[in-house]
Structure 1
């Protein structure tokens, strides 16, 4: 059965290959679900899928590490893992940009109160003298 990230992937029938295929398919599925949730702006689903993606990635790392120690990982699965890794990095970068934009918007709407600087105090003093002279 093709997976949503790589529809042309070929399933491996060996025990270790099937385990890697299943593990990698779970990662790809969670990546796809997380992307859908982000696009839908469904924060409950984003939280759920982010947690599940974290779990799936941890399982995948364990399985791929074990498989690599036992022999070569099939190139098709290695390529899919690299694509999934790229998607994770892409989603992380998108979230970082969105967070930075949100932080800037919050700073504009609710500026942080900073302690008075030496120059700020001087400007206030000059302004009051100018007002007295006028």
Structure 2
């Protein structure tokens, strides 16, 4: 039998809390995003990152030592899909915010050019240098 399709094992006892932690962190991040609480989003994203790192390590160990039940594997796949969806949603929101900021606060060029000042500057320099 393939290791990923193994029946329930002692590893399920280790994997279940890891999957629950990822799911809980995803839910918390979703709520923070809905509330538009940037501090909470940052904290929840950090917590989710740690939970995902632990999940990957735990699943890797379980796959080597006996397998992962299809139900747990499916839950982790679903969680991964949710992470991708939230990342895409955040990217769209960020792009919309960038566009709004560009409209509200147009970017100014590094060098400000004014035709009147340029003509005055070069003409004034030539007139003053001629008289010197």
TM-score category (smaller protein) = 0.7 to 0.9
**1:30 equivalent in structure 2:** 25
Matched, 1:61 2:56: yes
* Aligned-residue offset at 1:113: 2.1
- Cα deviations by residue, 1:87-113 (Å, 9 ceiling, x for unpaired): 000000000000000001111111112
Normalising by structure 2, we get a TM-score of: 0.74
* Aligned-residue offset at 1:27: 0.2
| C-alpha RMSD over aligned residues | 2.1
Q: Which moved more, 1:56-65 or 1:44-53?
A: 44-53
* Aligned-residue offset at 1:115: 6.2
Normalising by structure 1, we get a TM-score of: 0.73
Question: Alignment length, in residue pairs?
Answer: 109
- Cα deviations by residue, 1:6-60 (Å, 9 ceiling, x for unpaired): xxxxxx9743111111001000000001101111122222111111100000000
Using the alignment, how far apart are the partners of 1:14 and 1:29 within structure 2? 23
Q: Helix, strand or coil for the counterpart of 2:91?
A: helix
Bigger-Rg structure (1/2)? 2
Structure 2 unpaired stretches of 5+: 1-6, 117-132
Matched, 1:85 2:77: no
Structure 1 unpaired stretches of 5+: 1-11, 126-134
